[in-house]
Structure 1
């Protein structure tokens, strides 16, 4: 494990990551810092904890709306893929239910 000192919204944090993953962690820190600073600078939300929650919600929304570029799921967002999986489970579960009564 490697430890890095990073700064998010002016506050220093000591974070640990696996060897070789330092660059990815630093990119994530920079992205989060940017999102949080934009929210803070807008002045509508006060308190670092509230700013962090709003940034996390924004990042989660971005993640869920990301679309797959290739393959059978191309053009679908992660949320749409999850909905399709739930629908498939429902169909499979309803098809298997009558078989359970046989035993």
Structure 2
């Protein structure tokens, strides 16, 4: 795979290299920054320990916010937004699983 299709994002002090079409790079970087912010909020609360648990809690919080917005008639999200969120969550899951498979140094 070509590194030109790859974008590196940093989430909770770890770097993830994610394959992404050129036209989606800015969206991916924005999503990563948003996720990083949410994960840092959760970590700083001190109630959740461990990157995996923090990631799951952040995903649940973000999903809850998205679904709550969809229920409000004045702020309806399109089906494509739901697909984009699902795609981004899959990418995060893949990056986390790849990170866990790599030997720790």
TM-score normalised by length of structure 2: 0.63
Report which of the two has the higher share of helix. 2
Q: Which residue of 2 aligns with 1:40?
A: 43
User: Which of structure 1's runs of 4+ aligned residues deviate more than 3 A?
Assistant: 74-78
Structure 2 unmatched ranges of 5 or more: 78-105
CA distance in 2, matches of 1:20, 1:75: 29
For 1:3-42, list aligned pairs within 5 A. Answer: 3-42=6-45
Q: How big is the alpha-carbon RMSD for the aligned residues of Structure 1 and Structure 2?
A: 2.2
CA separation of 1:77 and 1:24: change in aligned 2, threshold 3 A: closer
Name the structure, 1 or 2, with higher relative contact order (CA <8 Å, separation 6+).
2
Give yes or no for the alignment of 1:64 onto 2:67. yes
- The corresponding residue for 2:57 is 54
Residues 64 and 77, structure 1, Cα contact 8 Å, conserved in 2 = no
Consecutive unaligned residues in structure 1, runs of 5 or more: 79-103
Inter-partner Cα distance in structure 2 for 1:20 and 1:2: 10
Larger radius of gyration: 1
